[in-house]
A and B are shown apart, each in its own frame.
Chain A
Amino acid sequence: MRQGTLIAFSLLFALPFLGMMATSLKEEAQIQTFGGFFSLFWPRPIRWENYTEVFEFVPFARYILNTAWVTLMSVIGTALSCSCAAYAFGRLRWPGRDVFFAVLIATMMLPAQVTLVPLFLVFSGMGWANSFKPLWVPSFFGVAFYIFLLRQFFLTIPRDLEEAAEIDGCGYGRIFWTILMPLMKPALLAVMVFQFLATWNDFVGPMVYLNRPDLLTLAIGLQAFRSLHGAQWGLLLAASTIMTLPVVILFFAAQKYFVEGITLTGLKS
């Protein structure tokens, strides 16, 4: 029964992706003409050239490298800074903690659109415009969303563990690294997957900060397949498929750790 439900629901959820893959293999003429629901998922004939043409059209390989670099750095930065900050907010007592936590939440409440111009001025004042730095350096200063998430995670973990460690004379750094870090793996992994996807697909950041064509990223590169009055849908969706594959593979692989989870049972006793 569970298998049946899983199959039905997962198909429903995979529809946009399947539609994208199918359309990425279609001839432009098939996309242009009317077709029913099933025609959306059925390329006739299959046109693999869409995939080779994507690489002729724009320096796609260059974009992949650029995007990979920015993504790698910001995932590392996020993982380090957010886990640390979450530990401080979720586990440790220090003056100002609760007020700063409220401020942390508040920073998420103001739409980013209105801080875009001042933030640009800060970065360009540092001479960072037209470089990747504005896209990944901020992640080393923590992202409120993930800090909040990881703090919630810390709050669900029993305190007994650390108390025992403290009595054993463990410093806070050691407690964080040797006891909490392993426990945090699933949540931290979720954060890393989120950040990977957010940076990988980010459009506004690269659009505002990068000018040189050799610095552009995938999300910007996709725009090359659109024009004022339409788009080359076959190529656009082929490029999108290429773009999403690394994320899909990463997600598939990262699951081992989600599943592994944590075994608090042994620790509790």
Chain B
Amino acid sequence: MRFDRHPNPLRLARITLLFTLAWFSAASLVADTPKTPTAGASRPPVTIQFWGLPENGLYQGLIRALSDFEAQHPAVKVERGSTGGQQAGMDPQKLMTSFVAGTPPDLVYMDRFELAGWAARGVFRPLDDLFESDKIDREDIYPACLGEVVYDGKIYGMPWNTDSRVLWVNMDILEKAGYTTPPGDWDELRTMAGKLTVRDSHGRIERVGFAPLIGNSWLYLFGWLNGGEYVSPDGRTITMTNPQVVGALEWMDGTYKSIGGYTAIGDFAASAQSEGVSDPFLAGKIVMKIDGNWNLDYVAKFKPDMNFRLVPPPAPRGHPSVSWSGGFCWSIPRNAPHLKEAWMLARFLSSEECWLKYGAYQEEANRRKAAAQGLKAGFYIPQLSSSKSVNKAQLAKFGATMPPRVREGFEVCVDTLNVCLNRPVIPVGRQLWDELARATDQVLSTGANAQAALETGQRRVQAELDRHYTPNPAPTFSMGKAVLAGFAIVMAGIFAVWGAAGARWHWTPRTRAEARAGLVFASPWLVGFFALMLGPMLASLIMSLSEYNVITSARWVGLGNFARMFGSTTTSDGASAPTDPLFWKSLKNTLFATAVGVPLGIVVSLGLALLVNKEVRGIRLYRTLFYLPVVVPAVSTAILWMWLLNNETGLTGALLSPILKWFGHEPISFFADPNYAGLGVVLMVTWGAGGSMVIWLAGLKGIPSTYYEAASIDGAGRISQFFRITLPLLSPYMFFNVIMGIIGWLQIFTQAYVIVVPPPYGPDDSLLYYVMYLFVHGFQYFNMGYACAMAWVLFVIVALLTLFQFKIAPRWVHYDQ
């Protein structure tokens, strides 16, 4: 056999090398050059990829209208690639991967607010020429809707839907309190907020008059109402700290203080949940709120006779009322293969014809549903369109069946669109949004100074903006080629060392047979490692040394990302502060969760395993019950935990609070209090201890019962048996659970990601975990290089901890060999 004659027994390894190289080079070729469509070669029917449209009930009518489009254009087929996603529209990972792989969709349903970030990096095609040739009436589009798709003087999307925020007022409660009209300005609003807020005999808040952040308003709106702006007209300077914005934040803070404080209200609001879950406005628990037009649907559905009014948001005396709106648009990626057809579809979707069809289908479905439930008529509350004429047509067509007050409200929302503003269109819009929300949270929940909090945020956003406009002078390079070269070098190194190790091996017929078997049995993993893992890992390592957003060329910055992570900057008052305090915060949060979560998880899961390791009646049912929390999908788990860890409606309210009260302790509000939010996540994850329980059970089954019999004869008690037999024999599993617990906790992502609606990530960013922060940088801030640098820092931390575990393992882990 050739194998026997050859001095180097690693033939398999060499085949692996060739195989992997071939595979990987094929892949990397695609990486650098996005496929360009072959023009003119389109044979009918053309299938266009249309991504991002939410597949939920709100859009069923629109999806149905797509077949009308196909009927009108027999040569075009529309294929939806919906992702659902974190909220609605596109998931950044999906858009990014498809774009760089050269297989983008033809048309994307894009959040306008995120558009500039992608457009600035060249993902989307400007549509000015198409707007021009089709003579699209720009006057018909609300200024805020059109304004949000224009970046650097070019149009990057066809605005579609929009929303507007107004003050919602429960007139019944207002009239009972002696008021006849809604508040006209900020002073009146604050006074009424205080008067209408009611507490019960224990001092607990029963009803809130008005709270700035209940509903959907954000600092953005209050700053604008106060005459503030967030970015200079040329888009190069962030002006978060201008006096009007600072004043607005102080007003919000003052208003909270006048109604009992942010934490108390937050606790109240957390129990009242957000819209759509249990709407406190419908329940009369909130008298006034600033919220969007989409809530009209809930009122019409659940309380059509409610005596309520909508008015434009009140401003400080002497300021005009303004509002803000967002919404989505249709955008076409630069390398989309079917431009003409995509544009045809975008035009169709934005047409009055399509809007009315969408509404008619939606209304028909509602009516059918109402009939099935034995109710009278169905109704349809349309989404707001970015087009003035479409909204007029929608009102004419669907207004008649709306409950009268809902219809009035709808008209107010439409009118308010004329005074709506849009968020600044800058390449770092996402960061600006995040930092404004973060500063708000800092001021309201930790009592920080408004000026200082906004200044911290401004510094961060400005730095990102500067980085975008003043590119790093470092040389650019081709990431694909760099990875390929790196891959070749590393592979050569690995095989040289491996070959040398093989040459040093003590070869006898026996060891040769064993080594051969070892390689054969390990080969699935070895091939997988070389073909699928090594390359991507290496790519992330090279990315960590560069400034790279995955879309445009990488710049070699060496250890620049690491310097930014660990460095410090001088603030305006001369003090020194970490350049990226959130990096440290996320690290701290993660280490805390790991330190508490790993031991707790091990104790609980081992406890469960010991509990169910005995054969008693119904034991299979018990085991299954313990395992249940693990199987519930993450999206559902999130809402259930919000309900369960809640002082008003939840388990903590029913069980924990009475116990705490007995000890004279205030009730703990998990998820509302920065001191306990992290603990809430640890508890939530520990509930999933049933997973590790299974591992322990497998281990327990492997312990021969003779050991226990022998120990019993020696007179050892149960406890001493546990420590003398069970624990030592389980030590290999303990070792596994410790290592995997550390790795798992340090990388916690999904469980926390589904329960926070960022930003901020929990009160005072207490739920900002390391990998979440890394994800935000990589996919939302376009800093993949920085994200990779963070990933490798985490890698080193985990590696050191694991190495330590392996080093001390021989002292306590007992292997039977």
Chain A residues near B (Cβ < 8 Å) = 2-3, 5-6, 9-11, 13-17, 19-20, 23, 28-29, 31-40, 49, 57-58, 80-81, 84-85, 87-89, 92-97, 99-100, 103-111, 113-126, 129, 138, 140-142, 144-145, 147-149, 152-153, 155-159, 171-173, 176, 186-187, 189-190, 193-194, 197, 201, 203-204, 207-208, 210-213, 216, 218-220, 222-233, 236-237, 240, 243-244, 247-248, 251-252, 255-256, 258-259, 261-262, 264-265, 268
Contact = CB atoms under 8 A, between A and B. Distances in A.
Interface string B640-670: 1101100011110110000000000000000
Given A110-B791, A129-B101, A265-B706, 18 more contacts: A6-B619, A31-B277, A85-B524, A94-B518, A115-B536, A116-B93, A119-B532, A124-B103, A129-B98, A141-B528, A153-B699, A157-B702, A203-B634, A213-B81, A226-B88, A227-B88, A251-B624, A264-B704
Contacts of B502: 95-96
A138 B524 CA distance: 10
Contacts of A14: 625, 628-629
B635 A40 contact: no
Contacts, number: 453
B566 to A, nearest CB: 19
A120 B55 contact: no
A85 B528 CA distance: 11
B636 A126 contact: no
A110 to B, nearest CB: 5
B97 interface: yes
B636 A141 contact: no
Interface stretch (B195-203, B220-228, B351-359, B728-736): B728-736
A224 B26 CA distance: 36
B94 interface: yes
Interface string B250-265: 0000000000000000
A237 B636 contact: yes
Q: Which of B87, B633, B729, B802 has the most CB of A within 10 A?
A: B633
B629 A16 contact: yes
Contacts of B527: 141
A141 B619 CA distance: 36
A93 B620 contact: no
Interface stretch (B136-144, B396-404, B687-695): B687-695
Given A37-B650, A109-B794, A152-B735, A201 B94 contact: no
Given A155-B732, A211-B81, A252-B620, A95 B644 contact: no
B816 A158 contact: yes
A202 B624 CA distance: 21
Contact of A34 (B278, B698, B729): B278
Contacts of B543: 114
Contact of A114 (B216, B372, B524, B774): B774
A36 B648 CA distance: 7
Lowest 8 CB-CB distances: which A-B pairs, in order?
Answer: A230-B276, A141-B528, A223-B84, A94-B518, A125-B27, A261-B701, A211-B81, A88-B522
Contact of B550 (A9, A117, A194, A203): A117
Contacts of A105: 739, 802
Contacts of B9: 95
Contacts of A57: 57, 60
B525 A81 contact: yes
B644 A16 contact: yes
A201 B634 contact: yes
Contact of B704 (A9, A115, A153, A268): A268
A203 B620 CA distance: 29
A141 B532 contact: yes
B636 A85 contact: no
Contacts of A197: 630-631
B468 to A, nearest CB: 20
B636 A240 contact: yes
B334 interface: no
Interface string B680-710: 0000000100110011011101101110000
Contacts of B30: 121, 124-125
A122 B729 contact: no
20 contacts: A6-B611, A6-B616, A16-B632, A29-B302, A35-B649, A92-B514, A97-B518, A105-B739, A107-B529, A114-B774, A118-B540, A138-B532, A152-B732, A158-B816, A186-B701, A219-B633, A236-B636, A243-B633, A255-B623, A259-B620
Contacts of B699: 153, 156
Given A156-B699, A156-B702, A226 B791 contact: no
A88 B505 CA distance: 17
Interface residues of B toward A: which range?
35 or more
A78 B504 CA distance: 33
Contacts of B371: none
B433 interface: no
Interface string B96-138: 1110110101000000000000000000000000000000000
A143 to B, nearest CB: 9
Nearest to B771: A111
Contacts of A39: 649
A103 B619 CA distance: 40
Contacts of A187: 698, 702
Nearest to A85: B525
Given A32-B298, A111-B794, A16 B628 contact: yes
Contact of B83 (A16, A100, A207): A207
A13 B701 contact: no
B498 interface: yes
Given A6-B616, A125-B29, A140-B524, A114 B643 contact: no
B36 to A, nearest CB: 16
B232 interface: no
A149 to B, nearest CB: 6
A32 B282 contact: yes
Contacts of A113: 749, 771, 774-775, 778-779, 787, 791
A17 B632 contact: yes
A240 B628 CA distance: 13
Given A33-B283, A109-B802, A226-B635, A95 B498 contact: yes
A197 B539 CA distance: 30
Contacts of A204: 93
Q: Which of A17, A220, A261 has the most CB of B within 10 A?
A: A17
Interface in B733-792: 733, 735-736, 739-740, 743, 747, 749-750, 771, 774-775, 778-779, 784, 787-788, 791-792
B625 A230 contact: no
Contact of A141 (B49, B87, B302, B525): B525
Contacts of A208: 91, 93-94, 97
Nearest to A92: B518
A2 B13 CA distance: 54
Nearest to A134: B532
B651 A37 contact: yes
Contacts of A111: 747, 749, 771, 774, 791, 794
Contacts of A155: 732, 815-817
B200 to A, nearest CB: 14
A210 to B, nearest CB: 8
Contacts of B787: 113-114
A233 B57 CA distance: 12
Contacts of A213: 55, 79-82
B599 interface: no
Interface string B270-309: 0010111111001101000000101100100110000000
A146 B651 CA distance: 35
Contacts of A153: 698-699, 702, 732
Q: Which of B497, B631, B779 has the most CB of A within 10 A?
A: B631
B532 A122 contact: yes
A95 B505 contact: yes
B414 interface: no
A152 B733 contact: yes
A58 B55 CA distance: 8
Q: Which of B10, B55, B729 has the most CB of A within 10 A?
A: B55
A20 B537 contact: no
